[in-house]
Structure 1
Amino acid sequence: MFELEQLVVYPSQGVGKVERIESQEIGGTVAEFYIVRILSNNVTLMVPVMNAINVGLRAVCDNDAGLKIFECLKDRSDFTGYTGQNWNRRYREYSEKLKSGDLQDVAYVLKELFLIGNDKELSFGERRLLEQAMGLVSMELSFAMNRDQDEIKEMINALFVDVLEKQEEDES
């Protein structure tokens, strides 16, 4: 059970805060809901308490888990390179990982798209997924590690500075 004022992560939306826990009657049955305000866009979500885990609501990771995410982003041993796989298939696969709410999966998408962008120009959809993954990872890590989100983004970008420099060369 989550507590009032607790920071939580809602899949594909990002970090939010539990503002209230309300009871509402729906179809003759009383149910409890977490009222969660997403911090990046001020959207308010009602998440049934009984279904919170099933929809992927979870606590923000801790500092140690954040450090492990940075280690995963640095590790390129699992990247096999751009395989020419249909971007549409990749897009669907990555979209599913972002919706999973699992920080490890979201970080995987972020790393893959950075590295694929080293081999070829990303499609518009892939660039959007990259931005979404960067936002989700950087926001959660900023709370987990008690740092500014922009600082976390800079730290992530520093891990891929070789990729970013190549992309800039290709564009000019």
Structure 2
Amino acid sequence: MFKVNELVVYPSQGVGRVERIESQEIGGVKADFYIVRILSNNVTLMVPVANAENVGLRSVCSKRIGQEIFESLNDRSEFTGYTGQNWNRRYREYSEKLKSGDLSDVAYVLKELFLIGKDKELSFGERRLLEQAMGLVSMELAYSVDRDQELIKEDINEMFADVIAAQEEKS
């Protein structure tokens, strides 16, 4: 059970704050809802308390986990290079990972897309996924390690400076 003012993560939306918990009757059934305001875009969500775990609502990761995720972004040992895999298949896989709400999955998508961009120019859809993953990862890490989101983005971009330079050469 989350508390009022607690920071939470809603999959594919990012970090939000529980503004209140209220009871409502919908279709003759009374239920409790978390009213969550997403911090990046001010959208308000109603999440049924009974279904919060099923939809992936969770607490912001700990500082230790945040640091581990940050370090994992810098580890390129598992990346085997762009394989020419079908974009549709990759897009579906990455979209599922972004929707999962698991920070390590979202960080995986971010790293993969950055590194694929070193070998080929990213399509419009890939760039959109990269931006979405960057926003989700940087925002949660910012709250996790208590740093400004823009500084986190700068640090991530610095990690992939060689990739960004290679992309700019192709443009």
Give the TM-score, by structure 2 length: 0.98
Alignment-derived partner of residue 5 in structure 1 = 5
Question: Deviation at 1:165?
Answer: 1.2
The CA deviation string for residues 54-96 of structure 1, in whole angstroms up to 9 with x for no partner, is: 0000000111111100111011111111000011111111000
Give the TM-score, by structure 1 length: 0.98
Question: Deviation at 1:28?
Answer: 1.9
The CA deviation string for residues 89-132 of structure 1, in whole angstroms up to 9 with x for no partner, is: 11111000000000000000000000000000011000000000
Q: 2 CA distance for matches of 1:74 and 1:108?
A: 11
Q: 2 CA distance for matches of 1:27 and 1:64?
A: 43
Alignment-derived partner of residue 64 in structure 1 = 64
Tell me, what secondary structure is at the counterpart of 1:96?
helix
Tell me, what secondary structure is at the counterpart of 2:54?
coil
Identity %: 78
Q: 2 CA distance for matches of 1:87 and 1:123?
A: 9
Paired residue type of 1:5:
N
Question: Deviation at 1:27?
Answer: 2.0
Alignment-derived partner of residue 27 in structure 1 = 27
Tell me, what secondary structure is at the counterpart of 1:18?
strand
Q: 2 CA distance for matches of 1:25 and 1:90?
A: 41
| Aligned counterparts, 1:26-105, within 5 A | 26-105=26-105
Paired residue type of 1:97:
K
Structure 1 stretches of at least 4 aligned residues deviating more than 3 Å after TM superposition: none
Q: 2 CA distance for matches of 1:23 and 1:102?
A: 28
Q: 1 CA distance for matches of 2:45 and 2:156?
A: 29
Tell me, what secondary structure is at the counterpart of 1:78?
coil
| Aligned counterparts, 1:150-165, within 5 A | 150-165=150-165
Question: Deviation at 1:135?
Answer: 0.2
Aligned residues: 171
Task: Give RMSD over aligned pairs.
Answer: 0.7
Tell me, what secondary structure is at the counterpart of 1:53?
helix
Q: 1 CA distance for matches of 2:165 and 2:63?
A: 29
Q: 2 CA distance for matches of 1:121 and 1:27?
A: 50
Question: Deviation at 1:30?
Answer: 1.0
Query: Structure 2: which 5+ residue stretches go unaligned?
Result: none
